[in-house]
Amino acid sequence: MRNLRIDHRLLLIANGRLSCGWFSLNAGLDRHGKTGAVAAIASVLLVMLSGCAGLPRPVAVTQIKPADIIVTAEESASLLFSEIGTELTIEIARWHNAADAAVSLTFDDGTLDQYLFAAPALEEHGMRATFFLIPGLMDGGIWNDSGTERLLFGWDAARSLHRRGHEIGAHTMTHGDLSRADRERVFWELSESQQQLQARIPGARVSTFAWPYWRSSHEARTVAAEIFAASRAGAASAARFREHGLPEARPIDRSAVNALALLPTHDPASWTAVADDLTSVGGWGVLSLHGVTDGVLADHAVGWQPLSLHQLRTVLSFLNDERYWVAPFGEVMDYIVRRDATTLTILSPPSAGGENAGRASARFVVSRSPEIQVRPGGSVTVVISNHGTACAAVVLADEQPLAVRCREGQALFDIPDGVAVIDLFLPYR
């Protein structure tokens, strides 16, 4: 333990509040600034107000608590290191890699054409999708869909898709219409399909579901909410999708996430126009697809309402842009849950002296609601920006360096699950 004296004029703009003044912090900090710092920050007092040139005077003198600078999915925070004239803004990115919008491609029924044509086309663009399978029908390989015999891919193909990074979701045991089924039947269709998929595809965590025929009932959705992290609901054409309002950063009902239908009769330009609009609202676009045809496999053998490979490739090429984060349905839902449960709370105020000569630093504690359930091994993207030097930032996560990516003057990094403390260092002259 040793005494560290920080006596800086700081401007703190956090959570929409503005305080301006002199801090006097004279506290015992251990080398890593942990427990000592918590007590110290909690006792920081605004000891003297002084005018900050060009800025409004604060309306009240208040005690600054650690919680006064927090960063959440809803609120970014700015810190001004006034002595070195550096302002740093920190925010939790709405989507992975700070993409403007998230897009999930979902394929229902597990028809053979999806395995033969869609998966390779996706992989040509480095994309992964969600395949909602019907385990009760997969052993037979043929599904009599109201008189049409469709070819389904089998378990080896399902395991291969899982190994290649695609998501396997459930689509009931029998492909029944659950909008009029009783609670017991709904529970069986959902939980049994989840368990069979997990039992026969080693390592698969089946956390998502799609409603057959896009139909559900209020009661059925309450069952789905108990079993799955997210369920994909009905789909609409681009025009209807827009009419109902573009989806935003989190679904209104995670048991009935609306989707945009891609049907061969729709103009692909209408889909790409919706995707374009999604970037302006920062939304999550879930696309619902069925068959994909190469024009050789007989139409009756492929999935319902098949897109041509050309139509699919048109959409994939459009989405192959860093404005979009294209990821499986469950992975995006996981990001939403993780993002909304994460808080960064300042532990050490911005400082630029003592052992930090030549660089400004700030330390944040990372906390997450303990009850959330997500796949382990994920991360949340954080963006820091300032006037030109953010890309020189060095970031430590629990004292281990994190990879920092630079994009348009902003620094991006991913905080992996389990990290407790983040240190930011910015060099200055």
Considering the complex, what minimum distance in angstroms separates the CB of residue 106 from Zn ion? 11
Residue 127 · residue 120 · CB < 8 Å: no
Provide DSSP, 251-312: -S-TTSEEEEE--TTS-HHHHHHHHHHHHHHT-EEEEEE--EE-SSS-GGGS-SSPEEHHHH
- Identity of the residue, 109 or 423, whose beta carbon is nearer to Zn ion in the bound complex: 109
Stretch that binds Zn ion, among 31-39, 45-53, 100-108, 361-369 (CB under 5 A): 100-108
Considering the complex, what minimum distance in angstroms separates the CB of residue 264 from Zn ion? 17
| Residue ranges in 194-253 that form contacts with Zn ion under rule CB under 5 A | 212
Residue 144 · residue 134 · CB < 8 Å: no
Angle ∠(23,29,35) on CA atoms, nearest 5 = 105
Stretch that binds Zn ion, among 14-22, 50-58, 103-111, 223-231 (CB under 5 A): 103-111
Angle ∠(355,361,366) on CA atoms, nearest 5 = 125
**Nearest residue by C-beta to Zn ion?**
108
- Identity of the residue, 108 or 331, whose beta carbon is nearer to Zn ion in the bound complex: 108
Tokens matching residue 302: 């492929």
With binding defined as CB under 5 A, does residue 189 bind Zn ion? no
Considering the complex, what minimum distance in angstroms separates the CB of residue 274 from Zn ion? 22
- Identity of the residue, 150 or 166, whose beta carbon is nearer to Zn ion in the bound complex: 150
Distance CA 177, CA 212 (A): 6
Look up tokens 């920050």; give the residue.
41
* DSSP letter, residue 98: G
Number of residues counted as binding Zn ion (CB under 5 A): 3
Helix (H, G, I), strand (E, B) or coil at 95: coil
- Identity of the residue, 190 or 246, whose beta carbon is nearer to Zn ion in the bound complex: 190
Distance CA 383, CA 277 (A): 23
- Identity of the residue, 212 or 349, whose beta carbon is nearer to Zn ion in the bound complex: 212
Residue 146 · residue 109 · CB < 8 Å: no
Considering the complex, what minimum distance in angstroms separates the CB of residue 212 from Zn ion? 5
Distance CA 178, CA 212 (A): 7
Neighbours of 339 (CB within 10 A): 21
For residue 104, what are the CA distances in angstroms to 3, 94, 263, 288?
52, 15, 16, 9
Stretch that binds Zn ion, among 109-117, 294-302, 341-349, 371-379 (CB under 5 A): 109-117
Tell me the CA end-to-end span of the chain in Å, nearest whole number.
Answer: 30
Considering the complex, what minimum distance in angstroms separates the CB of residue 185 from Zn ion? 17
Considering the complex, what minimum distance in angstroms separates the CB of residue 414 from Zn ion? 35
Stretch that binds Zn ion, among 54-62, 67-75, 108-116, 218-226 (CB under 5 A): 108-116
Distance CA 150, CA 139 (A): 13
Considering the complex, what minimum distance in angstroms separates the CB of residue 173 from Zn ion? 12
Distance CA 266, CA 404 (A): 41
- Identity of the residue, 95 or 143, whose beta carbon is nearer to Zn ion in the bound complex: 143
Identity (one letter) of the amino acid at 189? E
- Identity of the residue, 3 or 146, whose beta carbon is nearer to Zn ion in the bound complex: 146
- Identity of the residue, 114 or 348, whose beta carbon is nearer to Zn ion in the bound complex: 114
Q: Which helix (H) or strand (E) holds 360?
A: strand 359-368
Considering the complex, what minimum distance in angstroms separates the CB of residue 409 from Zn ion? 46
- Identity of the residue, 66 or 306, whose beta carbon is nearer to Zn ion in the bound complex: 306
With binding defined as CB under 5 A, does residue 108 bind Zn ion? yes
Residue 265 · residue 290 · CB < 8 Å: no
Look up tokens 């389990």; give the residue.
418
* Among 68, 100, 109, 414, interactor with Zn ion by CB under 5 A: 109
Considering the complex, what minimum distance in angstroms separates the CB of residue 132 from Zn ion? 7
Considering the complex, what minimum distance in angstroms separates the CB of residue 65 from Zn ion? 53
- Identity of the residue, 145 or 417, whose beta carbon is nearer to Zn ion in the bound complex: 145
With binding defined as CB under 5 A, does residue 167 bind Zn ion? no
| Binding residues for Zn ion (CB under 5 A) | 108-109, 212
